[in-house]
Amino acid sequence: MSNIIFFGPPGAGKGTQAKIISEYLNVQHLSTGDILRKKLLEKDNLAIELKKIMASGNLVSDDILNSIVSSRLSKESGKGFILDGYPRTLHQSEFLNNFLSKTSSSINYIFNIQINFETLKNRILKRSSEESREDDNVDVIETRYNEYLNSTQKVTNSYKDIYRPNFYEIDGSLEIEEITQNIKEILKKS
C-alpha cells in the first residue's frame, strides 16, 4: 500500500507530480488546494470567507483543513493516498499523526520537491496565465512563499526526523518528465 506526502513550496510542481503518481499507482490524489477551490464555487458564506484568505495567499484555518482531510481519508481507508498541500502547519501534522496512529497506518514515502524562489516565481506567473488562478500574482506569491517558510518548512523538517528512511529530496528544477522518472525510480527500488 502507498501512503505518500508531497512537500515543497508553492510552484514546485507538487500538484503535477502528485497527479501523475496517483494515476501510476492508482491511489487517490488529495489536493487540499483543489478541494478548497471547488468549495469556492458554492458561493456560500464559507466560500466568500475562503476566497478572501486564499486570494491573499494566507493559510486557511487548521480546523477546516483537518476536517476536510479526515473525512476524505476515512472514506478511502486502507486504499492508499497521496497528500498534496497538507499538512502545512504543525497543528495539521499533529492531527494527521493522530489520525494515522488511530487507523494503524503510516506514511510510506515523502517527496520533498526543492526549488529556488526565482524559478518558482517564474513558474507561478506562467501558471497564472494558463489557469487564471487569483492567487498566482507577484504580490501574493511572496505571501504564499513566506507562509511556506514560516509554517510548512517546520512541518517538513519534523517529518524528515520522524520518517528519515522514507524521506526523499527531489530536484524540482528539472523537467516534469525527469522529476517523474526520479520519483518512479525511488518507488520501484524501495
List CB contacts of 146: < 8 A, sequence separation 6 or more: none
Query: How is the beta sheet containing 81-84 ordered, strand by strand?
Result: 28-31, 81-84, 3-7, 109-114, 167-171
Binding of residue 39 to ligand AMP (CB under 6 A): no
Shortest Å distance, C-beta 98 to ligand AMP = 16
Shortest Å distance, C-beta 116 to ligand AMP = 18
Of 54-62, 71-79, 109-117, 161-169, which part binds ligand AMP (CB under 6 A)?
A: 54-62
Question: CB-wise, 36 or 107, nearer to ligand AMP?
Answer: 36
Phi, psi of 132 (to 5 degrees): 40, 55
Q: Which of 4, 12, 20, 36 binds ligand AMP (CB under 6 A)?
A: 36
The count of residues interacting with ligand AMP (CB under 6 A) is 17
Phi, psi of 124 (to 5 degrees): -65, -40
Binding of residue 113 to ligand AMP (CB under 6 A): no
Binding of residue 32 to ligand AMP (CB under 6 A): yes
Shortest Cβ contact with ligand AMP: which residue?
A: 33
| String marking each residue 139-168 x if it binds ligand AMP according to CB under 6 A | -----x------------------------
Of 40-48, 86-94, 113-121, 158-166, which part binds ligand AMP (CB under 6 A)?
A: 86-94
Phi, psi of 173 (to 5 degrees): -85, -10
* Residue entry with cell 478572501: 52
Check if the beta carbon of residue 140 is closer than 8 Å to that of residue 58.
no
- From CA 65, how far away is CA 69, in angstroms rounded? 6
- From CA 127, how far away is CA 131, in angstroms rounded? 6
- The residues of the shown chain that bind ligand AMP, judged by CB under 6 A, are 10, 32-33, 36, 53-54, 57-60, 65, 85-86, 88, 92, 135, 144
